[in-house]
Structure 1
């Protein structure tokens, strides 16, 4: 596969990140907004960076960073739901997508390691 844009996991992570940015465009709690959007953005960014690396070991490391960021994102979604920043329906959909992205990353990491 020549391009990270061809990876389904990257496309889904980028879409989720964009949805999160849109969802928090008007939030005045800049600390929370900054943290959740950065962790969401980190997932597709690390997938892209890993895919562009020369070695399988480096690629797996960046895919692992992306998986960690997906866990961070899920934590922030739970907290956002608890404090009323994210409605339950949206939060559950984002959690489901983030969990699926984590599973896809796990498989990608396993297939990448030498």
Structure 2
């Protein structure tokens, strides 16, 4: 899924920032942004594996919220001087694009008549 692939890339981008800056020394903030960016991709994967749209929608909603949490934490990373304004803007915009993609997929699933593979009679 494209949204999972993109969320994986965003998670990796956060890790790269931590590895090349002093963010890795701010353990609490690093742990929070690492956790929230990982939560985006993890909840997409977990919801998909549930094989039902209701559960998938629930997990996508959590994933979208984690995307917002990551974006908020990026402000803190910037405010504490770990990244430049340009890096902040790029990362923030990328998380915004991902959030919109997740939201679009959520809307699609909510309107879909397909309930998921676990509801198909064999």
TM-score, L = length of structure 2: 0.84
Mapped to 2, the partners of 1:54 and 1:47 lie a distance apart of 12
Residue equivalent to 2:79 = 82
Mapped to 2, the partners of 1:58 and 1:112 lie a distance apart of 11
Unaligned segments of structure 2, at least 5 residues: 113-122
Mapped to 2, the partners of 1:87 and 1:37 lie a distance apart of 19
2:58 corresponds to 1:64: no
Name the SS for the 1:9 alignment partner. helix
Correspondence list, 1:12-91, <5 A? 12-25=6-19, 27-91=24-88
Runs (4+) of structure 1 exceeding 4 A deviation are none
The count of aligned residue pairs is 108
RMSD (Å), alpha carbons? 1.1
Mapped to 2, the partners of 1:87 and 1:53 lie a distance apart of 40
- The structure having more radius of gyration, on CA atoms, is 2
Deviation, 1:54, is 2.0
